[in-house]
Structure 1
Amino acid sequence: METLMEMAKKGDCPEWLKDVAKSEGIEVDKLLRLIARGEVVVPKNVNRELKKPRAIGRFVSTKINANVGTSIDYVNVEEEVEKAIVAQKYGADAIMDLSTAGDLDFIRRKIMEVTEVPFGTVPIYQSARMKKVVVDMDEDDFFKSVEKQAKDGVDFMTIHAGVNRFTLEVLKKSGRLLGIVSRGGAIIVGWMVHNEKENPYYKDFDYLLEILKEYDVTISLGDAFRPGCLHDSDRAKYAEWIVLGELVEKCREKGVQCMVEGPGHMPADQIIPAVKAMKVITRNAPLYLLGPLVTDIALGYDHIAGAMGALVAGLAGADFICYLTPAEHLALPTVEDVKEGVIVTKIAAHAIDLVKEGVRERAMKVDYEMSLARKNFDWDRQFELAIDPEKAKKIWERRKSQFACSMCGDLCAIKLAQKALERNVFNPNHGQSEG
Structure 2
Amino acid sequence: MNYKTQMEAAKLGIITKEMETVSGKEKVDVHKLRELVACGKIVIPANRNHRSLNPEGIGDGLKTKINVNLGVSGDCADYSKEFEKVRLSIELGAESIMDLSNYGKTNTFRKELIDISTAMIGTVPMYDAIGYLEKDLMDISAKDFFKVVEAHAKEGVDFMTIHAGINKHAVETFKKSNRITNIVSRGGSLLFAWMEMTGNENPFYEFYDDLLDILYEYDVTISLGDALRPGSIHDSTDAGQITELIELGNLTKRAWEKNVQVLVEGPGHMAINEIPANMVIQKRLCHGAPFYVLGPLVTDIAPGYDHITSAIGGAIAASNGANFLCYVTPAEHLRLPDLNDVKEGIIASKIAAHAADIANGIPGAREIDNKMSDARRRIDWEDMFSYAIDGAKAREYFESTPPADKHSCSMCGKMCAMRTTNKILSGEKVELKGE
Give the TM-score normalised by structure 2.
0.95
> CA separation in 2, counterparts of 1:16 and 1:56?
12
> Does the CA contact (< 8 Å) of 2:275 and 2:313 recur in 1?
yes
Equivalent of 1:292 in 285, 291, 296: 296
> CA separation in 2, counterparts of 1:181 and 1:109?
28
Equivalent of 2:78 in 76, 79, 95: 76
Post-superposition shift, 1:385? 0.9
- Tell me the equivalent position of 2:112: 110
> Does the CA contact (< 8 Å) of 1:128 and 1:187 recur in 2?
no
> CA separation in 1, counterparts of 2:289 and 2:428?
55
- Tell me the equivalent position of 1:354: 358
Post-superposition shift, 1:257? 0.4
Residues 159-201 of structure 1: CA deviation (Å, up to 9, x unaligned)? 0000101100110001211110100001101011111111010
Equivalent of 1:317 in 321, 331, 351: 321
- Tell me the equivalent position of 1:33: 35
> Does the CA contact (< 8 Å) of 2:51 and 2:115 recur in 1?
no
Letter in 2 for 1:242: I
Letter in 1 for 2:57: A
Letter in 2 for 1:313: A
**Is residue 41 of structure 2 the alignment partner of residue 50 of structure 1?**
no
**Is residue 340 of structure 2 the alignment partner of residue 333 of structure 1?**
no
**Is residue 173 of structure 2 the alignment partner of residue 180 of structure 1?**
no
Post-superposition shift, 1:373? 1.0
> CA separation in 2, counterparts of 1:207 and 1:273?
34
**Is residue 174 of structure 2 the alignment partner of residue 171 of structure 1?**
yes
- Tell me the equivalent position of 1:260: 264
- Tell me the equivalent position of 2:159: 156
- Tell me the equivalent position of 1:419: 423
- Tell me the equivalent position of 1:133: 136
Letter in 2 for 1:168: V
- Tell me the equivalent position of 2:62: 60
> CA separation in 1, counterparts of 2:226 and 2:16?
32
> CA separation in 1, counterparts of 2:125 and 2:378?
52
Residues 110-167 of structure 1: CA deviation (Å, up to 9, x unaligned)? 3223311100000011113324421211111110110001000000000000010110
> CA separation in 2, counterparts of 1:372 and 1:272?
33
> Does the CA contact (< 8 Å) of 1:80 and 1:111 recur in 2?
no
Letter in 1 for 2:267: P
SS at match of 1:112: helix
Residues 21-55 of structure 1: CA deviation (Å, up to 9, x unaligned)? 01101000011011001000010001121331110
Listed as ranges, the matches of 1:15-34 within 5 Å are 15-34=17-36
Letter in 2 for 1:7: A
Residues 193-236 of structure 1: CA deviation (Å, up to 9, x unaligned)? 11111101001111100000000000000000011111111221
SS at match of 2:366: helix
- Tell me the equivalent position of 1:277: 281
> Does the CA contact (< 8 Å) of 2:18 and 2:44 recur in 1?
no
**In angstroms, what is the RMSD of aligned CA positions?**
1.3
> CA separation in 2, counterparts of 1:48 and 1:116?
9
- Tell me the equivalent position of 2:432: none
Letter in 2 for 1:370: M
Unaligned runs of 5+ in 1: 426-435
> CA separation in 1, counterparts of 2:98 and 2:118?
12
> CA separation in 2, counterparts of 1:345 and 1:19?
24
Letter in 2 for 1:127: A
Residues 74-99 of structure 1: CA deviation (Å, up to 9, x unaligned)? 10011111111111111211000000
**Is residue 221 of structure 2 the alignment partner of residue 218 of structure 1?**
yes
> Does the CA contact (< 8 Å) of 1:54 and 1:93 recur in 2?
yes
> Does the CA contact (< 8 Å) of 1:45 and 1:216 recur in 2?
yes
Equivalent of 2:12 in 10, 13, 19: 10
- Tell me the equivalent position of 1:142: 145
SS at match of 2:318: helix
> Does the CA contact (< 8 Å) of 1:57 and 1:286 recur in 2?
yes
Deviates more, 1:373-382 or 1:293-302: 373-382
**Is residue 383 of structure 2 the alignment partner of residue 381 of structure 1?**
yes
Letter in 2 for 1:157: M
> CA separation in 1, counterparts of 2:93 and 2:18?
21
> Does the CA contact (< 8 Å) of 1:157 and 1:219 recur in 2?
yes
SS at match of 1:66: strand
> CA separation in 2, counterparts of 1:91 and 1:15?
21
> CA separation in 2, counterparts of 1:424 and 1:384?
29
Listed as ranges, the matches of 1:301-312 within 5 Å are 301-312=305-316
Post-superposition shift, 1:424? 10
Letter in 2 for 1:37: C
Post-superposition shift, 1:419? 2.5
> CA separation in 1, counterparts of 2:102 and 2:313?
28
> CA separation in 1, counterparts of 2:247 and 2:267?
15
- Tell me the equivalent position of 1:431: none
- Tell me the equivalent position of 1:122: 124
SS at match of 1:316: coil
SS at match of 1:363: coil
Post-superposition shift, 1:423? 4.2
> CA separation in 2, counterparts of 1:50 and 1:283?
32
> CA separation in 2, counterparts of 1:164 and 1:182?
15
Residues 301-356 of structure 1: CA deviation (Å, up to 9, x unaligned)? 00110010001111210000000111000000101110111011100000000011
- Tell me the equivalent position of 2:96: 94
Q: Percent identity?
A: 46
Residues 225-265 of structure 1: CA deviation (Å, up to 9, x unaligned)? 01111111122101100000000001111110011000110
SS at match of 1:298: coil
> CA separation in 2, counterparts of 1:16 and 1:167?
37
- Tell me the equivalent position of 1:429: none
Give the TM-score normalised by structure 1.
0.95
